[in-house]
Amino acid sequence: MVGISVFERDGIYQVYVQAMEEDGVGDLYAKYQELKNKLEKEGLFDAAHKEKIPMLPKEIGVLTSQTGAVIRDIINVSTRRNPNVHIRLLPVPVQGEGAAEKIVKGIEFMNKNKLADVLILARGGGSLEDLWPFNEECVAYSIYNSEIPIISAVGHETDFTIADFVADLRAPTPSAAAELAVPDIYEVKQKIIDYKSRLRMALLKKLEVMRLRYEKCMRSVVFREPTRRINDEYIKVDAYIKQLENLIKTKYEKEKAKYAEVVAKLDAYSPLKTLARGYSITEKDGKIIKSVNQLKKDDIVEIRLTDGCKKSQIIE
């Protein structure tokens, strides 16, 4: 409360202040630091408690606003890196009163129904007040107790929230979170090819070393029966050569089979492949509809086709 009075004769103004508040973040920042220190002492930030992000996740769960650039960026980056990955969005408010409780329920719902291999908790940048739901104690414990690994991508690169410290992995932006969650399938294929080539070269080098040893042995052998000794050594080396050749062939076939298996799995899990044949996926409230008994008149459903989604209403 502020009051002002004027001393007319001298033209002097007097300001009466009844209450003052610290400028800037003030009490809110102090509350943030207090909770951060408390949770750190309790071990919620310890690396020992953090889960590893799966190498080839099939289902990516996203908790963020249903509209806006965040979800578009995550979808674009994820599908570019692996067209077979499935994005499952659970819309939650990311700021304002009650947002923290909705985020907690979203994390618990995804865990209870095992709807994803990894979760991305994301929103765009903003002030400390805007990001405050991600600094709530209930959200921190929910992330800590999640069985599904969680990547936190809240705010911009310079923004840090309590959720970032508790999460299994922190990403500077939502797009970066998608890159961390979804490996580039083309890079994976190239690595398999490189490993196969390196293995082949290593085995050939080993074979060459064995041949050099054989030649050295042949030059240094001086016995009463040199022909017999040489023949014996030749047979041994020949056996080693055949053994190495069989090893190269067996290892090559195994790696080739593994590669084919990975490619087949990726192709088999692709929902886009099924949709492209004319099928569609019908969802209600984020759940896939498998029976007409799950629907009633006037229900609003979402129909996912190969080139997009449409909302529909059940008439009969």
Select from 181, 203, 238 the last residue of a domain.
Answer: 181
Number of Cα atoms under 13 Å in the Cβ half of residue 157: 2
Q: What is the DSSP letter of 268?
A: H
Q: Is residue 32 one of the residues assigned to a domain?
A: no
For position 157, what pLDDT does the model report? 75
Look at residue 113 and tell me whether its pLDDT is greater than 70. yes
Structural domain containing residue 129: 51-181
Look at residue 134 and tell me whether its pLDDT is greater than 80. yes
Look at residue 223 and tell me whether its pLDDT is greater than 50. no
Look at residue 176 and tell me whether its pLDDT is greater than 90. yes
Q: Is residue 214 one of the residues assigned to a domain?
A: yes
The SS3 of residue 110 is: helix
Distances (CA, A) of 72 to 59, 68, 123: 17, 7, 12
Distances (CA, A) of 203 to 166, 234, 238: 46, 20, 16
Per-residue pLDDT of 298-313, as tens digits, reads: 888 888 887 788 889 8
Question: Which CATH number belongs to the domain containing residue 64 in this structure?
Answer: 3.40.50.10550
Using CA atoms, how far apart are residues 290 and 135, in angstroms rounded to an integer?
38
Per-residue pLDDT of 15-51, as tens digits, reads: 777 666 555 556 778 888 998 999 999 999 999 989 9
Indicate if 171 and 64 belong to the same structural domain. Answer: yes
Residue 270 structure tokens: 């692709």
Residue 267 structure tokens: 């192709």
Q: Is residue 294 one of the residues assigned to a domain?
A: yes
Percentage of the chain modeled with pLDDT above 90: 34
Structural domain total, the chain: 3
Using CA atoms, how far apart are residues 309 and 73, in angstroms rounded to an integer?
17
Indicate if 307 and 206 belong to the same structural domain. Answer: no
